């Protein structure tokens, strides 16, 4: 993202949607005029595609992404922080709750249709700097959450996890590995 685009995008955070969206579209982004970018929401990405009726609430920070895709009626609620240098995609009628932290620094993050990622939850696509010889995870990979999933509050999703469609993750869960179990 070049510096002029970054500066104009950052300054546009003080404008309401009806002024901000045409300005951002002039910069080369693809934002539907019926989308809602609330005042004081920071969106800095190389490519942005936001469909009709998608909503980014106030005090959301989306920084450094390669690509942001929000399908129709999707929502990112206030005080959420999304960062990294890969893709973040939220499909139609899905929601990221308030105060979530999503890091797409080591792989793409995709949330399926009609899925909810509840408040205070986190997604990390990278492992740790701590030594693998002591059992610490070193996986760096994207995360996919299927359709019709409900990730309840204060849950954490680790790198490389794929949550199948129609899943419910209980509050406070830490998902770091998915194993296939055949009954």
Q: Where are the domains of the chain?
A: 3-175
Strands 55-56 and 174-175: unpaired
- Return d(Cα 16, Cα 19) in angstroms, integer: 6
For the chain, the C-alpha Rg in angstroms (whole number) is 17
- Return d(Cα 139, Cα 105) in angstroms, integer: 12
pTM confidence score: 0.91
- Return d(Cα 33, Cα 163) in angstroms, integer: 32
Question: What confidence score (pLDDT) does residue 1 get?
Answer: 58
Question: What confidence score (pLDDT) does residue 72 get?
Answer: 98
Question: What confidence score (pLDDT) does residue 98 get?
Answer: 97
Give the 3-state secondary structure percentages of the chain, helix then strand then coil, rounded to 5: 15, 35, 50
Residue ranges of the chain whose pLDDT lies below 50: 181-183
CATH number for the domain whose boundaries are 3-175: 2.160.10.10
Question: What confidence score (pLDDT) does residue 140 get?
Answer: 87
């Amino acid at each position: 993202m070049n510096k002029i685009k970054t500066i104009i995008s950052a300054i546009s955070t003080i404008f309401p949607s009806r002024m901000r969206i045409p300005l951002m579209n002039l910069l080369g982004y693809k934002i539907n005029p019926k989308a809602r970018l609330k005042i004081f929401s920071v969106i800095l990405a190389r490519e942005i595609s936001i469909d009709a009726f998608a909503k980014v609430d106030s005090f959301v920070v989306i920084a450094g992404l390669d690509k942001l895709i929000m399908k129709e009626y999707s929502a990112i609620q206030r005080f959420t922080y999304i960062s990294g240098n890969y893709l973040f995609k939220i499909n139609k009628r899905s929601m990221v709750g308030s105060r979530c932290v999503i890091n797409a620094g080591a792989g793409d993050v995709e949330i399926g249709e009609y899925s909810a990622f509840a408040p205070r939850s986190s997604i990390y696509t990278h492992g740790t700097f701590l030594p693998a010889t002591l059992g610490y995870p070193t996986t760096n990979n994207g995360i996919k959450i299927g359709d019709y999933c409900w990730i309840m509050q204060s849950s954490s999703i680790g790198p490389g996890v794929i949550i199948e469609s129609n899943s419910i993750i209980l509050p406070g869960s830490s998902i770091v590995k998915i194993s296939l179990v055949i009954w």
